[in-house]
Amino acid sequence: MTVLRILVADDLSEEGLEILRRDAEVEVRNGMSEDELRDTLPGFHALIVRSATTVTGPSLENADVLSVIGRAGIGVDNIDVEAASVRGIVVMNTPEAGAVTTGELAIALMMSLARNIPAADASMKAGRWEKNKLLGTELRGQTLGVLGLGRIGRVVADRGRGLKMKVIAHDPFVDADRAPEGVRMVTFDELLRDSDFLSVHVPLTDETRGLIGPDELAKMKSSARIMNGARGGIVNEEALCDALEAGDIAGAALDVFDREPLPDDNRLRLTKNLVLTPHLGASTREAKRNVSLDMARQVITCLKKGVALNGINVPRVPPSQADRVAPFLTLARNLASFLMQVYPGRLRSLRLTLQGKLLLSAKEPLRVAMLAGALGCRADRPVTPVNADRVAEEMGVRHHVETSTLKRDFVNLLRIETLLDDERHFVSGTVLGHRHGRMVELDHFLMDAIPEGPLLVTFHHDEPGVIGRIASLVGSEGLNISRLQLGVPDNGHTSAGALGLLNLSSPIPPEAIEKVLADPGIIAAHSVRL
């Protein structure tokens, strides 16, 4: 079995590392440059980073077996997700674990601004007593504007309400009727105009870069204060310094910067009424631990079960269903791959039919799992659920999913139908006891086979002695048969021969396949590796 290797390139808590070490060889190497990362990645199946390591396209160039990049944290702007996706690499983050901590920092920054705490502290340390100069403002009744109502924005809105503030929010992806209780959704201009404290909680994207620049700052009250704990680049730093120096706004607090670490001589360091912290958003003991634990578990689940929880470039598996869906993902991939390995021909189309509530909740993940399984056998590069759609498009393979009642005896059943040149074939499967994948149908044959590992698949005449001879031949090759299934034709196909599926200890070599084919009872034989 392959030994899993994981490269941890930023700070991860010891508890997280322990989880990884139970299933993989772990190497911790902080502070790598792009070149160092590129030279180190070969041979690693997973890479885990926080925000300090930048994962660029060139750094992934030699990543021969990398299948997942885990961002232990929320923001993935330090990862070239597009470059990872082209290579079929899953990118995942931990959106929940640091949300409260990061939201709390925004509140701490707001408090600092309202009561001049950093300035008061610096003044005291400098030997002064400036009580009158450091007059603050009460939060109660003031308007807190939340820009971006995702997980963190919602924490901030909730804490703002606890402080008896009026909370307004702007988020183009949240309808007014989906706003949290007590939060009024407003336009971006209204948010700028009405906020006494404006807290930024949007990701950095092409659309949000420079979202708060000179024009936006000019629309704010001169008494307003801004907090940015999201990402550098969303608030234009030069425009912010200008606005603070001109008194166009009253104060600001930044935890994130265009360039991190913030250069020594940066203008921000000299600007008054500006509180600076060194990207402390997720830096609490609790968040660090939770982020590390979540990421370690997610990476292991992805490597071992193929389920990408919180994958941002793959269809989402509902976390509550992940354990039950995982074996079906493996099944979809394996059954599709099985069809491609047994039947020749140009792959023209794939149809996935799903039966059962559980499978309907995971239509998209199952579709891409099927695509990855099938295309992986025909494409000239690795295909995973991440790049399966692209590869299908490039290869001109049509595909779709439908739901239907296939067989009433099964609660959950999936069926894959394919068109190879002009021949149609199909295979169906289910999962027993929430864990054990079974192939139950291949064209007109019915069976109860395990579609895993190396297999010998035979189509043979349904007559005495054939299976005995095949089994002896396999044995004489030094291969152990762990399970043998015979597929019988279903009603109406009485003269269609028989199907043999032998699970083997290791793949049957081509010479042995030749010997099997030489047996007069054999119609066709294939080595299948799942």
Q: Which residues are catalytic?
A: 231, 260, 279
Among 16, 70, 73, 145, binds ligand 3PG (CB under 6 A): 73
Binding of residue 202 to ligand 3PG (CB under 6 A):
no
Smallest gap from Cβ 255 to ligand 3PG, in A, equals 8
Q: Which is nearer to ligand 3PG, 70 or 73 (CB)?
A: 73
Smallest gap from Cβ 294 to ligand 3PG, in A, equals 11
Identify residues 40-59 at the interface with ligand 3PG (CB under 6 A): 50-52
Give me the residue whose beta carbon is nearest to ligand 3PG. Answer: 73
What residues form DSSP beta bridges with 5?
25
Separation between Cα atoms, residue 320 and residue 328, nearest integer Å: 15
Q: Provide CB contacts within 8 A for 427, sequence distance 6+.
A: 335, 338, 339, 415, 416, 439, 441, 442, 443
Among 56, 273, 283, 341, binds ligand 3PG (CB under 6 A): 283
Q: Which is nearer to ligand 3PG, 228 or 428 (CB)?
A: 228
The footprint of ligand 3PG on this chain (CB under 6 A) covers a number of residues equal to 11
Helices (H), 79-166: 81-86, 99-115, 117-125, 151-162
**Position 2: which residue type?**
T
Binding of residue 98 to ligand 3PG (CB under 6 A):
yes
* Residue 123 · residue 130 · CB < 8 Å: yes
Tokens of 199: 């807290």
Nearest in space to 489 (alpha carbons), one of 459, 523, 524: 459
Tokens of 109: 């920054």
Site string for ligand 3PG, 241-280 (x = CB under 6 A): --------------------------------------x-
For 395, phi and psi rounded to 5 degrees?
-85, -5
Smallest gap from Cβ 55 to ligand 3PG, in A, equals 13
Binding of residue 306 to ligand 3PG (CB under 6 A):
no
Ordered DSSP codes for 275-336: EE-SS-TT-SHHHHHHHHHHHHHHHHHHHHH---TTBSSSPPPPGGGHHHHHHHHHHHHHHH
Binding of residue 70 to ligand 3PG (CB under 6 A):
no
Q: Which is nearer to ligand 3PG, 94 or 458 (CB)?
A: 94
- The whole-angstrom distance between residue 469's C-alpha and the CA centroid of its chain comes to 48
Smallest gap from Cβ 209 to ligand 3PG, in A, equals 16
Q: Which is nearer to ligand 3PG, 233 or 281 (CB)?
A: 281
Q: Is residue 249 within a helix (H) or strand (E), and if so which, with residue range?
A: none
Q: Which is nearer to ligand 3PG, 153 or 497 (CB)?
A: 153
Binding of residue 281 to ligand 3PG (CB under 6 A):
yes
* Candidates 33-41, 73-81, 193-201, 309-317; binding stretch for ligand 3PG (CB under 6 A): 73-81
Smallest gap from Cβ 293 to ligand 3PG, in A, equals 14
Nearest in space to 50 (alpha carbons), one of 67, 66, 28, 65: 28
Separation between Cα atoms, residue 300 and residue 228, nearest integer Å: 33
Q: Which is nearer to ligand 3PG, 99 or 442 (CB)?
A: 99
* CA angle (101, 153, 225) in 5-degree steps: 95
Strand blocks (E) in 149-200: 166-170, 183-185, 197-200
Binding of residue 437 to ligand 3PG (CB under 6 A):
no
Smallest gap from Cβ 47 to ligand 3PG, in A, equals 15
Helix, strand and coil content of the chain, in percent to the nearest 5, comes to 35, 25, 40
Smallest gap from Cβ 286 to ligand 3PG, in A, equals 13
Nearest in space to 356 (alpha carbons), one of 428, 286, 425, 420: 428
Binding of residue 75 to ligand 3PG (CB under 6 A):
yes
Smallest gap from Cβ 208 to ligand 3PG, in A, equals 14
Binding of residue 233 to ligand 3PG (CB under 6 A):
no
Among 7, 24, 37, 74, binds ligand 3PG (CB under 6 A): 74
Tokens of 221: 């009250």
Q: Which is nearer to ligand 3PG, 147 or 383 (CB)?
A: 147
Among 212, 224, 282, 329, binds ligand 3PG (CB under 6 A): 282
Nearest in space to 440 (alpha carbons), one of 388, 495, 395, 499: 499
| Residues forming the site for ligand 3PG (CB under 6 A) | 50-52, 73-75, 98, 279, 281-283
